[in-house]
Amino acid sequence: MGLEGKTDAELTGLRNGLVEAIKGKGGKAGNLSLIRELNWPEDQYWDVRDLLVDAGTLLLGRGKGGSVRLIEADNQLSDTASGEAGVNNQDGNEYPDEASLYEPMAKCLREHWSKSNRYRDCIVEITARQGRRDTGGRWSRPDITIVGLSVFTYLPGRYLDVSTFEVKPANAIDITCVYESLAHRRGATRAFVLLHVPNQDNIGELLDEICVEAKRYGVGVITAQDPNDFATWDDIVEAQRFEPSPERLNDFIASQVSEGAKQGILQWLK
């Protein structure tokens, strides 16, 4: 049965119903208890749950039968820090917004970061600029994506890495960047937060909080004092490498990178 034949209004009602049920349990609940409480067919529950996970509303958790957690419940832990949201823009700031950071950061990632990660070859794309193309819902679109090819001396075959970067300018840094990056990792091997931090003293406490949360979820944190100068970049938190299912990895590449990049990847794998 699932969600076949449901109208947009019905789907919205189902999504809202599941969110409210989880809120009623303090923002976290087991899958089986939610199925019983909602009295839904199991396939309907799983489909609605997956829609909310894909939209960046829920995180999956452990427990008997598995569990889910509202991302906004995690965000409440840092309301004060989020309200202060980084550093006020200064007059003459060369990078006043997120879009102004994409090109210089992508250039440094391509010319320097990729070499530090020993990629034999790589493709770096600004994936934030995809217009109205559907890429999978809220928080599904990384700002920058790197597809890297690695070859190791004593191991057979070629290894494909997909790393995503959530970029934040100095005047828009808050802890939600970790959850945005985490949403990207469902189809990538590594996820990073890439922050423009001209003066780390200005956001010391907030940066500490971001790092604690990033370590909790395996998200990497990189700060850049000067987006154009890789010597000023600092890997503060190392990203854990994850192995998404081949299907998710394939779908991520299919939906996020350009046709030219896809052709380049196919050439690597021949």
pLDDT tens, position by position, 188-209: 999 999 999 998 777 888 999 9
Q: Tokens for 183? A: 């949403």
User: Is residue 181 one of the residues assigned to a domain?
Assistant: yes
Reported as type and span, the H/E element at residue 162 is strand 159-168
In the chain, pLDDT over 90 holds for what percent of residues?
40
In the prediction, which pLDDT does 70 show? Answer: 87
pLDDT tens track for 245-268: 889 889 898 888 888 888 888 888
Q: Which pTM was predicted?
A: 0.64
Residues 101 and 32 in one domain: no
- Same domain (yes/no): 177, 112: yes
Amino acid letter, residue 52: L
What pLDDT does residue 136 have? Answer: 46
Residues 52 and 104 in one domain: no
Residue finishing a domain among 76, 101, 121 = 76
Q: Which residue has the higher pLDDT, 237 or 77?
A: 237
CA 94 to chain centre: 26
Are 50 and 163 found together in one domain?
no
Dig out the tokens for 123 from the structure.
């493709």
59 lies in some domain: yes
Reference 188, options 223, 240, 226, 133; nearest CA is 240
> In this structure, what DSSP letter does residue 234 have?
E
Based on the fold, state whether residues 127 and 247 are members of the same structural domain.
Answer: yes
The reply to whether 3 falls in a domain is: no
Domain count, the chain: 2
The string of pLDDT tens digits covering residues 14-41 is: 989 999 999 998 888 988 889 999 999 8
Rounded Cα distance, 215 and 232, in Å: 22
Kindly report, residue by residue over 130-164, the tens digit of the pLDDT: 544 444 444 568 999 999 998 887 888 888 899 99
Domain with 104 in it: 90-268
- Assess whether pLDDT exceeds 90 at residue 60: no
The per-residue pLDDT for 44 is: 87
CATH code at position 17: 1.10.10.10
What is the average pLDDT score of the chain?
A: 83
pLDDT band at 74 (very low <50, low <70, confident <90, very high): very low
pLDDT recorded at residue 227: 94
